[in-house]
Amino acid sequence: MNSVAGGGTIVTFPLLVALGVPSIEANATSTVALLIGIGGGIYGFRREIPPAARWIHLFAPVSVAGGLLGAWLLTRTAERTFDELVPFLLLFATVLFLASDTIRKRFAPGGPATGRWPIACALAGQFAVSTYGGYFGAGIGILMLAALGLMGLSHIHEMNAVKTVLGALINVVAGAYFVWAGLVQWPVALVMVAGSALGYYGGAAWSKRLSAERVRHVVVGIGLILSAVFFWRQFAS
């Protein structure tokens, strides 16, 4: 799914919860297990990274700080509180994924924004997105594309390069913190790492046969169903 259309976390996280992994540990384990795809994602945008280096250097420090803060906040959240947040987080990520095409098509015209206040607002927004990413993670790429579009960036491949590198920084920092905090269930994570490797690197061939739009519809459908299930489990059962 991540190779073709993205949205893998929408499935991996609730699957771990369904298998009995506590929700906070499931979130941490899913984050760490999916890190293996980062190298392939960055390599895919290797030609677009140099032209976008200015934006990567600008946003990298706040991305690292926000990712670390989000991971720290997760470790300070009570399990019951996080369980109550899960349905809303899943629904939020699913709605973001559903709206991803609309967001991509509505980038602000013109050149990149300049000036102290636009840059300050962009940095604050990236810090907020990074904090959310360290805390839960699903949908941060879509949020970053929207923010970059509002800043006036319009070259989609360079924007994807910035999004990919910054997303990698957020997930690596958060994953490292989760490992340090002892939240990762390694037997489960290692099985997921093997599946992730096959999915990311073998998915390149399948991506040529499968429609990204069709996969996206499947992801959204799964996300909506899982959101409904978690709402029912948490508030109606």
Per-residue b or e along 168-186, where b marks 16 or more CB atoms closer than 10 Å to that residue's CB: bbbbbbbbebbeeeebbbe
CA angle at 126 for the pair 10 and 77, rounded to the nearest 5°: 55
pTM above 0.75, yes or no: yes
Distance of alpha carbon 3 from alpha carbon 202, whole angstroms: 9
Residue type at 105 in one-letter notation: K
pLDDT in tens, the chain (237 residues): 665 556 677 778 888 888 889 989 999 998 888 787 777 667 766 777 787 788 888 889 999 999 999 999 999 999 888 888 878 887 887 787 677 666 656 544 445 555 577 678 778 888 988 998 899 877 677 777 777 766 666 666 677 788 888 888 998 999 999 999 999 999 998 988 888 777 766 665 665 566 667 766 777 787 788 788 878 877 776
| Nearest 10 degrees: Cα torsion 155, 156, 159, 160 | -150
Domain ranges of the chain: 9-236
What letter would DSSP give residue 46? T
With both helix axes pointing from N to C terminus, report the angle between 156-180 and 53-75 in degrees, rounded to the nearest 10.
30
DSSP conformation letters of 94-121: HHHHHTHHHHHHTPPPSS---SHHHHHH
> SS3 for 151?
coil
Q: Where is 154: in which H helix or E strand?
A: none
The stretches of the chain forming alpha helices (DSSP H) are: 9-18, 23-33, 38-44, 53-75, 79-98, 100-105, 116-135, 140-150, 156-180, 186-207, 212-231
Contact 168, 38 (CB under 8 A): yes
